Chains A and B, each alone.
Chain A
Amino acid sequence: MKLPPFDYACPTTLPEAVQLLATSNGDAKAIAGGQSLVPMLAFRLAQPSLLVDLRKLPDLRGIRISAKGVTLGAMVRWRDIEDDERLDTAHPLLKAAIAHVAHYQVRNRGTVGGSLAHADPAAEMPGIAMTCDAEIAVVGKSGAHVIQAADFFQGALTTALTPDEIIVEIRLPAWPAGRRWGFEEFARRRGDFAMAAAAVFYDQDANGKAHNAHVGVIGVADRPLRLPAVEDVLNGRAIDATIIAKAEAAASAAVDPQDDIHASAAYRRALVGTLVERALKRAAA
């Protein structure tokens, strides 16, 4: 499985990189860590004429934490998130989810931006982006703009990015102290893509009632999903066993997975319910 032929460029500025992508008739691909793209090349599922390597671009590698939230540069690696102790409080849900991404060696190279651009429906980072209402900042030939996560993922391996656009960073809104959250994933083996995963969080008012509930799932559709029907079950309620059972049923009812080689649709539907239930139990504990 040798890679197909392609040209290679390693620009040192963002405009240069955009220019390279823009002038190749949509036939160029940006490469960050390469952990999703290179296997695609190996199977010749992707055959770009040009690879634009982002590794020398400045300012894409930092994790910034401020009152407005957490900003991850597109070239931030899984390993960087794992090692950043500030995120334990600044965004514990992100940290918990990223712990499930792939394996040791892949975590040393795989990047946040690469995962978003690849848009695997079972990947954790797109799931977190959806669940947390993230903003994805991109630069293209028409300049810089921001895409809401809900608009960004358009199908399996399909995003709102145009061929000339590069992800610069992803912004996760601020995470208040005291927020309740849970993340549950089930994969066939450690590090495999999720059969399904559920990310949930909500805030509690003085009476212990939940509001601002966010429930997201991956692995059950062609893109990461938010489940508003489940959020409706939670908002305005105290999260007790009865509500959790209702949320579980609502989650199963809200998804319409397909059979595939790893699981039946019926199983996956039940699994989503179970994972939402367990994530909520963890959140409420």
Chain B
Amino acid sequence: MRTVNSLIGSPIERLEDLRFLRGRGQYVDDLARKDMLHAAILRSSVAHGRIRSIAVAAARALPGVHSVITAKDIGNRVPRVPMRLQPLPDFEPFGQPVIAETKVRYVGEAIAVVLAETAAIAEDALGLIEVEIEPLPAVADRRASAQDASLLFEDKGTNLAIKFRAVRGDAAAAFADAPYVRRESFRTQRHMALPLEPRGLLAEWDAARGRLTLSGGAKVLFFNRRTLAKQMGLPESAIEIVENDVGGGFGARGEFYPEDFLIPFAARHTGRPVKWTEDRREHLMCVNHAREAECDVEIACKRDGTILALRGHAYVDVGAYMRTNGAVGARNVAQFMSGPYRIPHIDVDVALQLTNKTPVGTYRGPGRFETDFFRERLLDMVAQDLGLDRVEFRRRNLVSQREMPYQIATITPFESKDEFDSGDYQTTLDRCLDEIKWTEKSKLAGKLIDGRYHGLALGCFIEGGAAGPKESARIVLEPDGLYSVYVGSSAIGQGLETAFAQIAADALEVTIDRIRGVFHGSTCYVDDGYGAYHSRSVVMGGSAMLDAAKNLREAIRAQAAQRLGCQPSEVEIVEGSKAVGPGGKSIALNGLSSEGISAEGAFLNKKHTYTYGAHAAHVAVDAKLGHVELVDYVVVEDCGRIINPLTVHGQAIGSVVQGLGGAMMEHLVYDQEGQLLTGSLADYLIPTASDFPNIRAIVMGDHPSPINPLGAKGAGEGGIIAAGGVMANAVANALSAFGAQPRELPLTPTRVWELAQAPRK
């Protein structure tokens, strides 16, 4: 048996695995209710157009169809999907109606909901709905968007949702005097999180009690409950949102989507439980897209490689609407373009351009993947121009430990100031170089060996975490002496139950088997919760749990003191199982209270943690096939205090592979009419087991965060952030004989082949 206080930092095998490995997880589509109706959603096949008519009679007449819902059935004003983050008034006009009213603005937008006795009949009925749409010119990309020739929102007179600007120092003055300036343009492609479990919802309306239960929640249950309560005209207390086992999130899953209104509405409308399970084609065209960004940037340096300033313009294609967290990626492109580097003067703006494509939202490392590609590519070009070693150039400009906390560019109009909390960025870089054997492998750079060109590259990153403002936890000492832990955080497959059991057991000074369970995923467990995004669950929820444990121990002491006839301060809790008073008089905790003792805790925080690290890659490029083999890949990150090395290592590896997908293959392709051409998993390619077998992750915990009691930082995004830049730099290095300079992702065979078409130097 393990001794107490040793769980944090131990590679505890996960508690969740016991059910998942036996096929006993319970995901939302596993649920069934008596009398349940199945929903299917008719979606626009036109990217931009005005709805002339919707005829549902034939669908409604199909045997097995219960009803068909369109905007007309919803009420006077169709609710909009709100902005959860950066809820600026500027975004309000661009909100998405939960069902198309007068216009459709992207392929996949909901037009009608069919409710039927089986999912198959519901789908049959979709084909019987006749929709007449007068097509309007599709706005297919950010350039067309900026021309404002065809407007998504005519009343607004512009397709520009907003411009953010990131400023630090005086970039104009710094550029005026700069001895060296380079200007470049880069582009990253639209791709997406693609969790393996499609979304799903099961809504149950209890008419007698006026209560709604919605299963299938994830990530931000409490925000979604607030939103849904408003939209349905219900008190928040009348709604319970339940999170089942969740098959991956990565930022996209659990945001408030149109269906999060439509399915509960349908349940109330029909008076029967309604289940909707998204299919993969719907997923590809309805769940938030991400990452479609371009930039024209300039960097100013001294000849010795000291970076003086960075300025420029970025453009993000945000799709057809501004919804929930759709501004985060763009904001981050501007604010984090400087990455972990000391750049005294910054002036970068970013235009959020609306187009007739699926709306965007966050995907793991939002904005950071894009901007790391821009910056790390630019840094390699500068190093080459100035004849500097790529490593030394970066080393010279990394923010140093003595500069912490280090203030980064401020974003307007949101006035978002931010600073790096702590760390020694040189150490992760050094470790990364050691692990990849940089010096030894440098000899291979650009060499043609057995028909393949070898390339080597590195890149550095920072990863924000711990978004505030608050997280809540509650711990209950049950009558039988075991502890139950309730948290407002969400599990999306990241192993939250195990990590929280470790934290709680250590805080309560008990062994892990005394934790009966970690209960999360319902809006009825704690008063409020903020969810799982921005690498915040462990940092925020874990810190709240420390507070709850402290409060619970106090409550236990107080109750025991009464029974032992002494002061609470005289009571000592031993091994979490008994309370000992003066003179060794003791009472077992399992007999302390017949209804259990409960204590709440919270953690409030306005600052962010910054995990940091470095990636390095060794590739071998078959220039004639345009094929890039990953020979070796190393990610080193320091994420502060590590709760579970097994899971944090797993997160790092998984994150890298997603990043390699974005670097090499994943691409949501649209044509000029706004049609999505990659509507199946045969066309939208993600990495498989045979693509990237050689990846190593080293997670360090040398520099705990000073801004939370756990000392933890966010983990899980670092692996993805630098992958695009590093792979592009590795290919550039491999194909240096051709003067290859990738400026666009993904590095498809066609693109890599094109890079090698220039005459060899």
Residues of A near any B CB (own CB < 8 A): 1-5, 39, 43-44, 186, 188-193, 195, 261-264, 267, 270-271, 274
What residues on A are CB-neighbors of B687 within 8 Å? 189
Complex-state Cα separation, A262 to B626, whole angstroms: 12
A190-B690, A261-B678 known; A43+B753 contact, CB < 8 A: no
- Nearest opposing residue in chain A for B627, CB measure: A186
Tell me the minimal C-beta distance from A70 to chain B in angstroms: 29
* A271 touching B625, Cβ below 8 Å: yes
- Residue pairs across A and B with Cβ atoms less than 8 A apart, 18 shown, are A5-B124, A43-B281, A186-B625, A186-B627, A188-B685, A189-B685, A189-B690, A190-B691, A191-B688, A192-B682, A192-B685, A261-B669, A261-B678, A261-B683, A262-B750, A264-B750, A271-B624, A274-B625
Choose from B127, B281, B624, B749 the contact partner of A188 (Cβ within 8 Å). Answer: B749
Tell me the minimal C-beta distance from B259 to chain A in angstroms: 16
* A188 touching B678, Cβ below 8 Å: no
Tell me the minimal C-beta distance from B609 to chain A in angstroms: 36
What residues on A are CB-neighbors of B119 within 8 Å? 2
A1-B281, A43-B281 known; A267+B688 contact, CB < 8 A: no
Complex-state Cα separation, A261 to B118, whole angstroms: 35
Complex-state Cα separation, A186 to B127, whole angstroms: 38
Choose from B123, B127, B750 the contact partner of A263 (Cβ within 8 Å). Answer: B750
* A4 touching B124, Cβ below 8 Å: yes
Q: A188-B665, A189-B690, A192-B685 are in contact. List 5 more A-B contacts (CB 8 A).
A: A1-B123, A186-B625, A190-B691, A261-B669, A271-B749
What residues on A are CB-neighbors of B667 within 8 Å? 261
Let me know if B31 is at the binding interface, CB within 8 A. no
Interface of chain B residues 596 through 645 with chain A (CB within 8 A):
624-627
Q: Which 10 A-B pairs have the closest CB atoms?
A: A2-B120, A267-B750, A1-B279, A190-B690, A274-B624, A264-B750, A261-B669, A263-B750, A2-B123, A261-B677
Complex interface bits, B740-761 against A, C-beta within 8 A gives 1, otherwise 0: 0000000011100110000000
Tell me the minimal C-beta distance from A99 to chain B in angstroms: 13
Tell me the minimal C-beta distance from B701 to chain A in angstroms: 35
Complex-state Cα separation, A5 to B124, whole angstroms: 8
What residues on A are CB-neighbors of B120 within 8 Å? 2-3, 5
Tell me the minimal C-beta distance from A199 to chain B in angstroms: 17
What residues on B are CB-neighbors of A3 within 8 Å? 120
- Nearest opposing residue in chain A for B282, CB measure: A1
Let me know if B280 is at the binding interface, CB within 8 A. yes
> A-B contact count, CB below 8 Å?
63
What residues on B are CB-neighbors of A191 within 8 Å? 688
What residues on B are CB-neighbors of A4 within 8 Å? 124
- Nearest opposing residue in chain A for B677, CB measure: A261
Let me know if B680 is at the binding interface, CB within 8 A. yes
A2-B123, A43-B281, A188-B685 known; A270+B691 contact, CB < 8 A: no
Complex-state Cα separation, A2 to B127, whole angstroms: 13
Complex-state Cα separation, A2 to B64, whole angstroms: 15
- Nearest opposing residue in chain A for B678, CB measure: A261
Complex-state Cα separation, A55 to B182, whole angstroms: 66
Tell me the minimal C-beta distance from B693 to chain A in angstroms: 11
What residues on A are CB-neighbors of B124 within 8 Å? 4-5
- Nearest opposing residue in chain B for A191, CB measure: B688
Complex-state Cα separation, A191 to B749, whole angstroms: 16
Complex-state Cα separation, A44 to B679, whole angstroms: 14
Tell me the minimal C-beta distance from A281 to chain B in angstroms: 11
What residues on B are CB-neighbors of A192 within 8 Å? 682, 685
Choose from B683, B690, B753 the contact partner of A267 (Cβ within 8 Å). Answer: B753
Interface of chain B residues 657 through 685 with chain A (CB within 8 A):
665, 667, 669, 677-678, 680, 682-683, 685
A1-B280, A2-B119 known; A263+B688 contact, CB < 8 A: no
Tell me the minimal C-beta distance from A128 to chain B in angstroms: 22
Complex-state Cα separation, A264 to B687, whole angstroms: 21
- Nearest opposing residue in chain B for A274, CB measure: B624
* B680 touching A43, Cβ below 8 Å: yes
Tell me the minimal C-beta distance from A156 to chain B in angstroms: 15
Choose from B677, B688, B753, B754 the contact partner of A189 (Cβ within 8 Å). Answer: B688
Complex-state Cα separation, A1 to B120, whole angstroms: 8
What residues on A are CB-neighbors of B691 within 8 Å? 189-190
Complex-state Cα separation, A31 to B684, whole angstroms: 27
Tell me the minimal C-beta distance from B199 to chain A in angstroms: 14
* A270 touching B685, Cβ below 8 Å: no
Interface of chain B residues 676 through 719 with chain A (CB within 8 A):
677-678, 680, 682-683, 685, 687-688, 690-691
Complex-state Cα separation, A4 to B683, whole angstroms: 22
Tell me the minimal C-beta distance from A255 to chain B in angstroms: 16
Complex-state Cα separation, A193 to B682, whole angstroms: 9
* B749 touching A186, Cβ below 8 Å: yes
* A263 touching B281, Cβ below 8 Å: no
Interface of chain B residues 232 through 276 with chain A (CB within 8 A):
none
What residues on B are CB-neighbors of A193 within 8 Å? 682
What residues on B are CB-neighbors of A43 within 8 Å? 281, 680
What residues on A are CB-neighbors of B665 within 8 Å? 188-189
Complex-state Cα separation, A199 to B748, whole angstroms: 24
Complex-state Cα separation, A264 to B753, whole angstroms: 10
Complex-state Cα separation, A191 to B748, whole angstroms: 17
Complex-state Cα separation, A186 to B680, whole angstroms: 21
* B749 touching A263, Cβ below 8 Å: yes
Which interface residue of B124, B127, B682, B749 has the most chain A CB atoms within 10 A? B749
Complex-state Cα separation, A274 to B124, whole angstroms: 47
Complex-state Cα separation, A226 to B14, whole angstroms: 56
Complex-state Cα separation, A267 to B627, whole angstroms: 12
Complex-state Cα separation, A191 to B687, whole angstroms: 12
Choose from A5, A190, A262, A270 the contact partner of B624 (Cβ within 8 Å). Answer: A270
- Nearest opposing residue in chain A for B754, CB measure: A267
Which interface residue of A44, A262, A263 has the most chain B CB atoms within 10 A? A262
What residues on B are CB-neighbors of A44 within 8 Å? 127
What residues on B are CB-neighbors of A195 within 8 Å? 749
Tell me the minimal C-beta distance from A147 to chain B in angstroms: 28
Tell me the minimal C-beta distance from B439 to chain A in angstroms: 33
- Nearest opposing residue in chain A for B753, CB measure: A267
What residues on B are CB-neighbors of A267 within 8 Å? 626, 749-750, 753-754
- Nearest opposing residue in chain A for B623, CB measure: A274
What residues on B are CB-neighbors of A39 within 8 Å? 682
Complex-state Cα separation, A267 to B749, whole angstroms: 8
What residues on A are CB-neighbors of B748 within 8 Å? 188, 262-263
Complex-state Cα separation, A5 to B125, whole angstroms: 12
Complex-state Cα separation, A61 to B690, whole angstroms: 31
Complex-state Cα separation, A192 to B119, whole angstroms: 30
What residues on A are CB-neighbors of B123 within 8 Å? 1-2
- Nearest opposing residue in chain A for B281, CB measure: A1
Complex-state Cα separation, A260 to B688, whole angstroms: 22
Complex interface bits, B321-357 against A, C-beta within 8 A gives 1, otherwise 0: 0000000000000000000000000000000000000
What residues on A are CB-neighbors of B749 within 8 Å? 186, 188, 195, 263, 267, 271
- Nearest opposing residue in chain B for A260, CB measure: B677
What residues on A are CB-neighbors of B280 within 8 Å? 1
Complex-state Cα separation, A39 to B280, whole angstroms: 12
Which interface residue of B624, B627, B665, B688 has the most chain A CB atoms within 10 A? B624
- Nearest opposing residue in chain A for B679, CB measure: A43
- Nearest opposing residue in chain B for A47, CB measure: B127
What residues on B are CB-neighbors of A2 within 8 Å? 118-120, 123
Complex-state Cα separation, A262 to B667, whole angstroms: 10
Which interface residue of A3, A193, A263 has the most chain B CB atoms within 10 A? A263
What residues on B are CB-neighbors of A5 within 8 Å? 120, 124
Which interface residue of A190, A193, A261 has the most chain B CB atoms within 10 A? A261
Tell me the minimal C-beta distance from A226 to chain B in angstroms: 23
- Nearest opposing residue in chain A for B664, CB measure: A188
What residues on B are CB-neighbors of A264 within 8 Å? 750, 754
What residues on A are CB-neighbors of B683 within 8 Å? 261-262
Complex-state Cα separation, A10 to B127, whole angstroms: 29
Tell me the minimal C-beta distance from A233 to chain B in angstroms: 19
Complex-state Cα separation, A263 to B685, whole angstroms: 13
- Nearest opposing residue in chain A for B127, CB measure: A44
Tell me the minimal C-beta distance from B753 to chain A in angstroms: 5
